[in-house]
Amino acid sequence: MASPPAPLGSLELIHRAIEADVAYTISRLQVLERLPKNPIGVAYRRVDGRIAALMARYIPSRSFNRVVGLRAGDEAHVAPLVAWYREHEVTARFEMVPGDYDAALGRELARNGFHHSGFHPALACRLNDPIAPPPPADIEHVTTAAAMEDFLDAYVAGWGFPEKDHPQFKANVRPWLNQPGWSLYLARVDGRPAATATLFVHGDTAYCADATTDPAFRRRGLHSALLHRRIMDARNAGVDLVTSGAEFLSASYRNMERIGMRLMFMRALWSPLAESA
C-alpha cells in the first residue's frame, strides 16, 4: 500500500513558500530597477529581515505592490508601511496567511483604511508526492537568444499585451534569460511558439511562476505539460518543495490539482477601502 503524501500543513513550509515567492518577485523587480533612471519606480524594503514591502510605482500590479510577511505582534509596522505607499501615491495590499494572523493585526489594518478583500491560494507538492504523467508536448528549456525571442512572442500573445507595447515590453524582459535562479520554458505546437512558463529556485524551494498560453493554442494540455516539466526539473535540482499560486478553482488551479499539487494555504488579501469605493 502506497504511503500517504507528506503533510504540507506547517508554518515552516508556509514560510518557505512565501519567501520563494518574495525572492522571485524581487528578482523581477530588480530587472526593471536596472533600466536607466528606474522609469518604473521600483522600490522594496525589508523590515525585521522577514517582512517584505514591494513597490513598482508605475505598474499597477498587485503582485508588485504588496506587503508580505507580517506576523502576530507586528502591528507597529502597519502604519509606517501604509505611509510609505501613500507618500509614493501607490495602491498596495497586505497579504496575511494562516498561523501568522491575529485580531490585533486585523484591527490595525482596518484602522489604517484596509479591509479584507479576497483570498489567493498557494498550492504545493513535496519531493515524493506522486505526479501525474504529462500530456504530450514539445517543451524546451530556453537558453539561447533566438529561443528567447520565440519565448517573448508566445508570452505577449498569452497575456494579451497591446501590440504597440510589444517592443518596449520585450526589451524589458530579455534580461530574464540570465537571471540567477531562473529557468524559462517554451512549448511549441508544430514548431510555433505557443506557451511559456518560469521556474524559480530559491534554496530547497521552487516556485512555478507566470505560465501563459497563446489563445490560439489553448486546451491542448500545454499548461499541465509545463507544470510537469518544471516540477521534474526542480526535483532533479535537489528541491524538496515546489509551490505555485492560482485563482481559486480557475483552469490553472485545476491543472495543478490534476497533476498532483495540493492546496497548501490561503492568503487573505487586505486592500484599501478606497479601492472598492
Q: Would you say residue 274 has pLDDT above 90?
A: no
The predicted structure's pLDDT at residue 4: 73
Residue carrying the nine cell digits 489594518: 109
Classify residue 138 as exposed, middle or buried by CB count within 10 Å of its CB (0-12, 13-18, 19+).
middle
**pLDDT tens readout for residues 173-203:** 999 999 999 999 999 999 999 999 999 999 9
Interacting residues of 191 by C-beta distance below 8 A, sequence separation 6+? none
Question: Rounded CA gap, 193 and 209, in Å?
Answer: 18
Give one DSSP letter per residue of 146-159, joined into a string.
HHHHHHHHHHHHHH
The structural domains of the chain, ordered by start, are 11-121+266-276 (no CATH), 138-259 (3.40.630.30)
Q: Would you say residue 277 has pLDDT above 50?
A: no
**pLDDT tens readout for residues 98-121:** 999 999 999 999 999 999 999 999
**pLDDT tens readout for residues 132-172:** 999 999 999 999 999 999 999 999 999 999 999 999 999 99
The predicted structure's pLDDT at residue 1: 52
Cell numbers of 33, please? 530597477
The predicted structure's pLDDT at residue 199: 98
